[in-house]
Amino acid sequence: MSKKTTEQEKKNISDDPSEGLIKVNKLNQSEKLKALLSLFKKEDNVLIVIVADPDSMASAFAMKRILSRRVNEITICYPNEIKRVNNIAMKDLLKIPLQKWKSIKKENFNKKILIDSQPSHNEEICKYCYDAVIDHHPVTQGWSAQFIDIRPDYGAVSSMMVEYLKAAKIKTSVYLATALCYGIKVDSQNFTKKSIYQDVLAFQYIFNHVNKQLLKKIEIADIKRDELRYFLFAIDNLKISKNRIYIHLGKVKNPDILVVLADFFTHVYEIGWVIVSGFYNDKLIVIFRSDGYRKDAGLLAQEVFGNMGFAGGHKQSARAEIAISNFPDEDIVLKFTTSTLQKYITKHLN
């Protein structure tokens, strides 16, 4: 990377995205599409960057379709690990062409698009500047782009991409429609989480093109066979107190099993809280689930672990990740049990 490019990227990282966002917000959907497409020429090589999850994979898939006949080359890449079985199934069954971040020579691409994220969200992607950023998370600072479309009121970026496809008069393939449908369902949690009427309209628009059997296969693919042992361990070691379920799994090979178990135990009648923890690599990861009624999982995560590491989320779901080195007791991995987890949480709930 040249010195000139590095200086330009530093300049962009220090910018404020608000001005560019205001300009795009004044446009209707057809005008947004026109403004986006004006950034690209036939000879461009475009890198679409995502932090891979269902919404981002579907949205990147849609962007690739929109640009497919307008530029020379399009590659979708991701810096994180895809470990959840649903996400692996989605990628494989819907044939979404993804490449790992580390395998890509970024200098081979003269245009970059960031989707379902912002540069400040990830230490890898923040090192680069982007021509376009399309997202639905709250706007962050410290970066800029030529085209910025961020809509925090939307439940999913997949809904936004459906609107771009409609404006471009592109008929979605079965695979693309199924991906976008699943992206909307996951990020809106089947419309039980924050979403707006536009999310519903987008879902209705593509639903008739969805392969229902593929969609069901992706949705029910929660766990691998060798992960069944975690369910047995969880049932044997869980503690229930005052309509709360506490589970500590110890060391896990995949932190997503914590999420799967937390979601599973929310189905237990009369349970208002589920808190599941485990050690992955050098971190304690804690997953919070609540019924959202007079409860706030994100706030609880912040109160318990906010001063020790990353912690936050929404009313119904939250997550905390704390480096083992942040605990005063160096033997925390050996001594931590379900009872330990319960003690950490209880003093804040009480």
For the chain, 350 residues long, give each residue's pLDDT as a single digit of tens.
Answer: 344 444 444 444 447 787 778 888 899 999 999 999 999 999 999 999 999 999 999 999 999 999 999 999 999 999 998 988 899 999 999 999 999 999 999 999 999 999 999 988 877 888 899 999 999 988 888 888 999 999 999 999 999 999 999 999 999 999 999 999 999 999 988 887 778 999 999 999 999 999 999 999 999 887 888 889 999 999 999 999 999 999 999 999 888 899 999 999 999 998 999 999 999 989 999 999 998 777 888 899 999 998 888 888 878 888 999 999 888 877 788 889 999 999 989 887 66
* pLDDT for res 350: 60
Same-domain check for residues 130 and 32: yes
79 in the same domain as 187: yes
The reply to whether 201 and 60 lie within a common domain is yes
User: Which of 220, 255, 285 is the last residue before a domain boundary?
Assistant: 220
80: Cβ–Cβ under 8 A, 6 or more apart, which residues?
A: 51, 52, 122
CATH number at residue 46: 3.90.1640.10
Do 269 and 344 sit in the same domain of this protein?
A: yes
23 and 138 share one domain = yes
**Do 274 and 157 sit in the same domain of this protein?**
no
169 and 265 in a single domain? The answer is no
Q: Note whether 215 and 335 are same-domain residues.
A: no
**Bridge-based pairing state of the strands 244-251 and 273-280:** parallel
| Domain interval for residue 319 | 225-349
- Among 169, 202, 220, the domain boundary falls at 220
Whole-model pTM: value is 0.73
Residue 210: Cβ-neighbour burial (10 angstroms; 0-12, 13-18, 19+):
buried
Looking at the structure, tell me whether residues 120 and 258 fall in a common domain: no
Same domain assignment for residues 319 and 181: no
Round to whole Å and give the CA distance between 194 and 216. 23
Domain count within the chain: 2
Q: Which of 183, 199, 220 is the last residue in one of the domains?
A: 220
For residue 348, the model assigns a pLDDT of 74
Residues 6 or more apart whose CB falls under 8 angstroms from that of 266 comprise 274, 289, 291
Q: How far apart are CA 247 and CA 306, in angstroms?
A: 20
